């Protein structure tokens, strides 16, 4: 794909001598020019909020739209409106493609303002941005079927066919660098702001890839060390069926009690998968930005898992397993999210490969019922803090003697010795796996 939003925004900034901001037609931030002025007034509240929160307030949006920017074909000057939070005059360059507005480039207006020739040149750049937005929107809309087929294929031959169809649809982009994003839970449907997420190559809804499928975190088909060809895609899909509604999975914890937290479960069993283009394996920003944008669209409580970068499509199944695992980890441990790269989830990279039954170790089982939820939480926090009593007591807000009493009860119930490294490892893994698969745990 030609061009890049950031490069085009920087080109407009250079032409007009002021930092520019690019937003989509829903006023979601896409890119912004560097601010290197010593004049603090140039960073007014609207621009600051747009950059920090990646969106504008309804009042600001209503004020701007009242000047006909959605219908304009040329630059629009908009006066300040302190009551709406707009403290500086604005210059808006509508971003259009084939008569349809797809976004806006914003600059703080000055007097006398840019020369007409420079404004014309900036509008030509805005048209190039429009073509880029239209191409990404078209790609995201057109490739849903192909991406969904590749992510949910159940057999080796169907996975190979789906991958070939996706490769053909992507064209030269198929051999480029990508990351997969998994957004969970996904409420269904989409919006223009979703379709124009930066770097988006394709997106689709899919069943929630359930945890613990054999080989779920293993390399996909065609990857050295993957074992049976096609096993990556098949295992991901089998797990998705296991977690989907109506399959008999209750979501109860190993003790039979309904979990107290959402953990790794996703209401409705639906997630959003997005294939995002990257420019460098060391620069995952487009995937992280897309994940944040899609989380906003999904609503409160949504998280996004981001796979490691991969070139081409041969390891699509493995990337999807990573993205889903990272999303599940962020649901179980909110401090990992809302956007969780696969590389950042630590031990959950291994725990995600375990089946849910792994949390049902008979030794640990007595801790997993409702009656001993506080003891389980105490044990998890104690192990999270490497067995340091002072830090654990502070984190729990209890006296050390209370902590020692609770830990002694944990040992009595489980028969484990918390001074023994292997016993600690067993308990820690069981509690984390229980949390991961929807059983709640330490807060």
Q: Tens digits of per-residue pLDDT, 205-234?
A: 998 876 544 334 333 333 333 333 333 333
Arithmetic mean of pLDDT, 289-304: 91
Instruction: Tell me which CATH homologous superfamily contains domain 5-135.
Output: GAF domain (3.30.450.40)
In sequence order, what are the residues at sequence separation of 6 or more whose Cβ sits closer than 8 angstroms to the Cβ of residue 210? 239, 240, 241, 242, 243, 244, 249
Tell me the CA distances in angstroms from 425 to 333, 367, 421, one per residue in order: 19, 15, 6
Arithmetic mean of pLDDT, 79-98: 85
Domains of the chain, by residue range, sit at 5-135, 143-351, 359-439
Domain 359-439 fold is: Arc Repressor Mutant, subunit A (1.10.10)
Could you identify the residue written with the tokens 């899919």?
206
Q: Where are the alpha helices (DSSP H) in 54-198?
A: 58-65, 116-142, 144-152, 156-170, 192-195
- DSSP state string for 56-75: --HHHHHHHHTTTTTT-SS-
Across 107-116, 278-287, 302-311, 328-337, least confident range = 107-116
**Mean per-residue pLDDT of the chain:** 78
More confident site: 180 or 443? 180
Tell me if 276 sits within 8 A of 290, measured CB to CB: yes
Could you identify the residue written with the tokens 């340091």?
388
In sequence order, what are the residues at sequence separation of 6 or more whose Cβ sits closer than 8 angstroms to the Cβ of residue 132? 1, 2, 3, 5, 8
Arithmetic mean of pLDDT, 303-331: 94
Q: Could you say which DSSP state residue 295 is in?
A: H
State the Cα–Cα distance between residues 237 and 141, nearest whole angstrom. Answer: 23
| Torsion from C-alpha of 412, 416, 418, 422, nearest 10 degrees | -170
More confident site: 235 or 334? 334
Position 47 confidence tier, pLDDT thresholds 50, 70, 90: low
Res. 76: pLDDT tops 50: yes
Angle among Cα 154, 137, 86 to the nearest 5 degrees reads: 130
Arithmetic mean of pLDDT, 310-318: 93
pLDDT at 384: 87
pLDDT at 221: 36
Arithmetic mean of pLDDT, 73-87: 84
Q: Tens digits of per-residue pLDDT, 336-350?
A: 989 999 999 988 888
Across 46-50, 351-355, 423-427, least confident range = 46-50
Q: Tens digits of per-residue pLDDT, 118-167?
A: 999 999 999 999 988 887 766 655 688 899 999 998 888 889 889 999 99
Arithmetic mean of pLDDT, 316-345: 92
Arithmetic mean of pLDDT, 57-64: 82
């Amino acid at each position: 794909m030609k061009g890049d939003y950031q490069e085009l925004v920087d080109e407009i900034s250079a032409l007009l001598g002021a930092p520019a901001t690019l937003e989509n037609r829903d006023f979601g931030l896409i890119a912004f020019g560097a601010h290197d002025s010593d004049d603090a007034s140039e960073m007014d509240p609207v621009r600051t909020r747009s950059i920090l929160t990646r969106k504008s307030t309804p009042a600001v949006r209503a004020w701007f739209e009242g000047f006909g920017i959605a219908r304009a074909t040329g630059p629009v000057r908009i006066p300040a409106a302190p009551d709406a939070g707009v403290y500086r005059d604005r210059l808006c360059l509508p971003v259009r493609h084939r008569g349809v507005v797809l976004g806006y480039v914003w600059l703080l207006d000055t007097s006398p303002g840019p020369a007409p020739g420079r404004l014309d040149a900036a509008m030509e750049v805005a048209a190039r941005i429009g073509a880029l937005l239209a191409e990404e929107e078209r790609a995201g809309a057109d490739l849903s079927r192909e991406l969904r087929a590749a992510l949910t294929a159940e057999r080796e031959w169907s996975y190979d066919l789906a991958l070939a169809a996706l490769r053909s649809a992507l064209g030269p982009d198929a051999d480029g660098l990508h990351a997969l994003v998994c957004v969970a839970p996904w409420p269904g449907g989409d919006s223009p702001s979703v379709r124009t997420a930066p770097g988006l190559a394709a997106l689709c809804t899919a069943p929630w890839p359930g945890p613990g499928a054999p080989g779920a975190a293993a390399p996909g088909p065609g990857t050295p060390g993957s074992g049976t060809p096609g096993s990556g895609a098949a295992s991901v899909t089998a797990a998705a069926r296991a977690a989907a509604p109506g399959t008999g999975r209750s979501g109860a914890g190993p003790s039979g009690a309904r979990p107290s937290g959402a953990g790794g479960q996703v209401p409705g069993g639906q997630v959003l998968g997005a294939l995002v283009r990257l420019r460098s394996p060391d620069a995952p920003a487009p995937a992280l930005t897309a994940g944040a944008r899609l989380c906003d669209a999904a609503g409160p409580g949504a998280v996004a898992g981001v796979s490691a970068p991969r070139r081409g499509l041969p390891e699509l199944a493995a990337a999807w397993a990573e993205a889903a695992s990272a999303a599940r980890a962020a649901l179980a441990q909110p401090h990992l999210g809302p956007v969780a790269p696969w590389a950042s989830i630590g031990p959950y990279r291994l725990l995600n490969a375990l089946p849910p039954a792994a949390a049902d170790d008979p030794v640990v089982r007595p801790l997993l019922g409702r009656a001993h939820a506080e003891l389980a939480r105490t044990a998890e926090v104690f192990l999270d803090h490497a067995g340091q009593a002072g830090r654990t007591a502070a984190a729990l807000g209890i006296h050390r003697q209370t902590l020692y009493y609770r830990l002694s009860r944990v040992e009595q119930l489980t028969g484990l010795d918390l001074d023994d490294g292997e016993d600690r490892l067993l308990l820690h893994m069981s509690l984390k796996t229980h949390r991961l698969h929807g059983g709640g745990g330490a807060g």
